Amino acid sequence: MAKSTSNKDAFSPIYVISGKDRRQAIDQLNALVDKIVGDDDPQCCLSQFNASVEIASVLDELKTVPFLSSYRLVVIKDAGDFIKNYRSQLETYVQSPSETGILILLPDSFPSNTKLAKSVAKIGQIIQCDPVKPKDLPAYLANYAKQTYKLTLKRDVALYLIETCGDDAGQLVNEVDKMAIYVQSEGASSDEITVGQVEILAGQSRQFNVFNVIDAMVHEDTAVALKRLDLMFSQDKEAPYTAIGAFTWHFRRLYQAKVMMDQGQSSQMIIKSLRIWSNQEKFISQLKRLRLIDLADILTYFADSDLQTKVSAVEVKMVLEKLIISQKNIKRYVA
């Protein structure tokens, strides 16, 4: 979640928005640009570059006297290589920044122990956009719905949304955006997002597709599992970006449930505690066919692949197919 380190209330000469949660980073950037630009014409005061830009061009922009605006704003996205290539020049610039230029850098990481980071912290702001932890997602989504749309999103509804779409924060925020538009366009008298709206808008078919692929895989029906996976990718254009998160979330929940079952808790206690909204009997059936070590191996398989940020759409599907068709894996997972 975004955390800001600042030593001044007015606009700073430099901002660094750092972190691997790109949705948070872009949201922070857009909010900051809107705040700085205000009613001014962005074409007169805003310049955006990628990491290939030369430092001389950036410094020229920052030192150019603003025209019909109060500030000259320069944004560099994916700024990791830019910082690496021009670190010494940036360290020099931070010592005597432009009075009317504002520099915004968006690297994936910005270690606080560097000379540049320490200098930026003194005169500017460092906004860290860390991925939202799964346990914090309900509160994060509720806060986003309230702050952005003045809509209430209760914890149980947020949990159902997570169950439906997986635990990728960026994707979940997109789903809240869709539901907010729906509620506002329908002129609903209530200011609350409901389970019914999640069922209609958040892709219930995605939830059941993922669940049913896993169900076929657990029951060693490889052909059916592959067909269901193909159908999911053909019907859901967002599947290449959401599938790994959704599969990981379902397996993580199975792992949690298996721990409870091995501790002697009843099926009803597991369903109630984990808020299993649908397919309750099939969920318990899956649970009985899996060992804890098997579930741990699957979660490790996803984690080691580092799929959510580093693979293409084709590779996402391929990794899932590999998990399904590997007979030795399927047999090992089934008790």
pLDDT at 238: 75
Distance from C-alpha of 210 to C-alpha of 220, rounded to nearest angstrom: 16
Distance from C-alpha of 178 to C-alpha of 225, rounded to nearest angstrom: 30
pLDDT at 333: 46
- CB within 8 A of 259, min separation 6: which ones? 292
Please give the domain boundaries of the chain with CATH numbers for all domains: 2-129 (3.40.50.300), 134-201 (1.10.8.60), 204-333 (1.20.272.10)
pLDDT at 186: 65
Residues paired with 14 in a beta bridge? 103
pLDDT at 308: 47
What is the per-residue burial (b if ≥16 Cβ within 10 Å, else e) of 214-234? bbbbbbeebebbbebbeebbe
What is the per-residue burial (b if ≥16 Cβ within 10 Å, else e) of 98-119? bebbbbbbbbeebeeeeebbeb
Output the furthest CA–CA distance in the chain (Å, rounded): 71
Query: Contact, 289 vs 261, CB < 8 A?
Result: no
pLDDT at 143: 92
Residues paired with 125 in a beta bridge? 6, 15
- CB within 8 A of 56, min separation 6: which ones? none
DSSP secondary structure letters along 191-250:
-B--HHHHHHHTTHHHHHHHHHHHHHHHTT-HHHHHHHHHHHHHH-TTHHHHHHHHHHHH
pLDDT at 232: 86
Whole-number Cα distances in Å, 179 to 106, 159, 161, 175: 29, 15, 11, 6
Query: Contact, 58 vs 74, CB < 8 A?
Result: yes
pLDDT at 309: 46
Q: Which helix (H) or strand (E) holds 57?
A: helix 55-63
pLDDT at 7: 41
Cα(first)–Cα(last) distance of the chain, in Å? 39
pLDDT at 39: 83
- CB within 8 A of 200, min separation 6: which ones? 182
Q: CA 223, 225, 226: angle at the middle one, nearest 5?
A: 65
Q: Note down pLDDT in tens along the chain; length 335 residues.
A: 665 554 444 799 999 999 888 888 888 898 899 899 888 888 888 999 999 999 999 999 999 888 878 899 999 999 999 999 999 999 999 999 999 999 999 999 999 999 999 999 999 999 999 888 888 999 999 999 998 889 999 998 898 888 777 777 888 888 899 888 888 776 656 788 988 788 777 755 566 688 889 999 988 888 999 999 998 888 777 777 778 878 888 899 999 999 999 999 999 999 888 878 777 888 999 999 888 988 998 898 888 765 444 545 448 888 898 888 875 454 444 44
pLDDT at 20: 81
